[in-house]
Amino acid sequence: MVERSGPGQADEDRDLEHWQWNQAMRGETPAQAADRQFNELLQELRVAQTGVQILFAFLLGLAFTPRFPDLTRTQQGVYLVTLVLSATSAGLLIGPVGYHRTVFRQRLKSQLVQTGHRYAVAGLVLLLLALVGAVHLAASFVLGSWATLLAAGLAALFATLWFLVPLSHRLRHRRDG
């Protein structure tokens, strides 16, 4: 590994292309960096896929319970929207697998990582909404209209933990070098 430090080094490192930084700091070629990034993406997707698949299975089964016809029109609407959000999230989080199979051995790993990243972010946003919808639906039996407040609070919490905190760190890192 190459040791780099000194005055102005942060500005110099910031100006390096990402692949150049990986090469200088990790000793990685662009192909090695793409392989590592793809493996990291797959590990992250495994966690998210499991959660969304469990949620989706729960939601699918809910429609076949004896009390389902007793849901209000609003609850049925929340259910349907949540089911579709969950299915779409699952599709996006599984999408990089289909992409990989389609471009296998075509030397498109870098594009796979970029597209997989976009699919993952979109899938996480929809998973956030699906989780909030599922909680809203379940809480509506107990809390009535207060379930909306609980769901909004969870949406804010998840958005903060999943996106706002990392984005603030990202911006601070760019600013501070």
Tens of pLDDT along 59-112? Answer: 999 999 999 999 999 999 999 999 999 999 999 999 998 888 888 888 888 898
Q: Domain boundaries in the chain?
A: 19-176
Over the stretch 21-53, which tens digit does the pLDDT of each residue have? 767 777 878 888 888 888 888 898 989 989 999
User: What are 6's two structure tokens?
Assistant: 């000194």
Of 21, 44, 22, nearest to 33 by C-alpha is 22
pLDDT at site 131: 96
pLDDT at site 81: 97
| Residues 8, 5: Cα–Cα separation, whole Å | 8
Q: What is the DSSP letter of 73?
A: H
| Residues 23, 124: Cα–Cα separation, whole Å | 30
Q: How does the average pLDDT of the chain come out, rounded? A: 87
pTM for the predicted model, two decimal places = 0.80
Looking at per-residue pLDDT, the higher value among 100 and 148 belongs to 148
Q: Which residues contact 136 (CB under 8 A, 6 or more apart)?
A: 78, 82, 147, 148, 150, 151
Over the stretch 47-60, which tens digit does the pLDDT of each residue have? 998 999 999 999 99
Over the stretch 135-147, which tens digit does the pLDDT of each residue have? 999 999 999 999 9
Q: Which residues contact 154 (CB under 8 A, 6 or more apart)?
A: 131, 132, 135
Q: Are 128 and 155 in contact (CB under 8 A)?
A: yes
Longest CA pairwise span in the chain (Å): 70
